[in-house]
Amino acid sequence: MPAQAELHGRRPTITDVARLAGTSRGTVSFVVNGRPGVAPATRERVLAAMAELQWTPSRPARALSHRRADAVGLVLAREPRALGSDTFFAPFIGGLESALQRTGQSLVLRFVAGDEAERRTYEELVSQRQVDGFVLSDLRHDDPRVGLVAGLGAQAVTLDRPDLASPFPSVSRADEPGVTAAVDHLVAHGHERIAHVGGPAHYVHATRRREAWQRAMRRHGLPVDRHVEADFTAAGGAMATSRLLALGDGERPTAILFDNDLMAASGAAVAQRLGFDVPGRLSVVGYDDAEISAYLNPPLTSVRTDPFSWGRIAGLLVLELLANGSASSQEMPASELVVRASSGPAPAAV
């Protein structure tokens, strides 16, 4: 199979990618265009071959090089109204904008519903030369956007590390230290029934946080059967909390760790309405440490991730990538626990 060193200075082709991946040119085309029908293992081999050979289709790449849009795209698969209450993306976008403004770059924000609309949006933004590159957020398992954007000849920075081969640099932060610190904090206060309310399982970061919670709980010899999947919204956090608090005596959690502050805040409010004092009968811990979290009643214990800095670093990385054609992945300082009044000793008997 060919390797980069064996191309003798010539530009790699789709045939080289197909040969290295052990598949056909048609399958490579399906992968780079984000089409369905390709097995995950095959898609992984194609993306790995693209990365090794540093290959992108030449025609879109030449078109982009001849005319710059001076803009970076951020495509979000969610309702526009959801951004108003999101505790992560508002500061993240602020940080992204603060970096892009340094060179006059604009941020093109698009909201999409459904896989087909998402694919068309990426294709249109590139073909109409509205953006020079993308920031890929909310990574999913076996995320088709990696191959799609690479196949379109566009540059991108991924927010977090994808779980498949990627030709793009990433900016990431380790979830495990913060989640582990949260569990350790609660265990130190006598909690044994610690529940977890996570995000949708198809998101890479939601899976990593759930697995970090499971590892921390097992290290303390505690059960991991109190996990509820929600959707990062206030309504989702409220419903998950109601479900957990409806468990019988001896099963009901005495503490809940949420995957973001929005769900934690709504969960604490639901608990209080149901007559559960926070933290007297239920300790609550959030994630992201949104600015409002320090001013809730009680102030929310949370895992700090600093979304503004995350956005700023992602912006600087995509600028470097667009200017130089390459950039190194960046690892941000690990998440850390900020203890406030929403967590405390486990109740003596529940």
Which comes out higher in pLDDT, residue 237 or 83?
237
Tell whether 278 is covered by a domain: yes
- Count how many domains the chain has: 2
3-state SS class at 134: strand
Band (pLDDT 50/70/90 cuts) for residue 242 is very high
Q: How many CB atoms lie within 10 A of CB 257?
A: 31
- Closest to 296 (Cα-Cα) out of 274, 270, 269: 269
| pTM as predicted | 0.81
Residue 17, pLDDT > 80, answer yes
User: Residue 203 has what pLDDT?
Assistant: 95
Domain limit, last residue, from 305, 321, 336: 305
d(Cα 197, Cα 199) in Å, to the nearest integer? 7
Q: What percent of the chain shows pLDDT beyond 70?
A: 91
Tell whether 37 is covered by a domain: yes
183: domain CATH number is: 3.40.50.2300
- Distances in Å between the Cα of 296 and the Cα atoms of 263, 266, 290, 291 are 13, 11, 11, 10
Instruction: Provide the CA 122 distance to its chain's centre, in angstroms.
Output: 18
d(Cα 30, Cα 77) in Å, to the nearest integer? 22
- Boundaries of domain holding 33: 4-53
Block residue for tokens 């779980």: 163
Contact 292, 102 (CB under 8 A): no
d(Cα 350, Cα 336) in Å, to the nearest integer? 30
d(Cα 109, Cα 130) in Å, to the nearest integer? 11
User: Which H or E element spans position 95?
Assistant: helix 89-100
d(Cα 257, Cα 179) in Å, to the nearest integer? 8
User: Residue 62 has what pLDDT?
Assistant: 41
pLDDT in tens, 181-224: 999 999 999 999 999 999 999 999 999 999 999 999 999 999 99
Residue 64, pLDDT > 70, answer no
Band (pLDDT 50/70/90 cuts) for residue 36 is low
Burial of 68-89, coded b for 16+ CB within 10 Å and e otherwise, reads: ebebbbbbbbbeeeeeeebbbb
- Distances in Å between the Cα of 8 and the Cα atoms of 11, 190, 214, 215 are 9, 64, 49, 48
40: domain CATH number is: 1.10.260.40
Backbone angles phi, psi at 172, to 5 degrees: -140, 165
Domain limit, last residue, from 18, 33, 53: 53
User: Residue 102 has what pLDDT?
Assistant: 77
Tell whether 94 is covered by a domain: no
Tell whether 121 is covered by a domain: no
User: Residue 69 has what pLDDT?
Assistant: 84
First to last CA, the chain: 64
3-state SS class at 172: strand
Residue-wise DSSP of 258-274 = ESSHHHHHHHHHHHHHT
Contact 100, 72 (CB under 8 A): yes
Residue 268, pLDDT > 50, answer yes
Tell whether 116 is covered by a domain: no
Residue 16, pLDDT > 60, answer yes
Region 285-292 average pLDDT:
95
Tell whether 66 is covered by a domain: no
d(Cα 150, Cα 133) in Å, to the nearest integer? 10
Tell whether 195 is covered by a domain: yes
Residue 339, pLDDT > 70, answer yes
Contact 258, 286 (CB under 8 A): yes
d(Cα 313, Cα 252) in Å, to the nearest integer? 41
d(Cα 42, Cα 21) in Å, to the nearest integer? 8
Tell whether 19 is covered by a domain: yes
- Residues counted in the chain: 350
pLDDT in tens, 69-101: 889 999 998 877 767 778 888 899 999 999 998
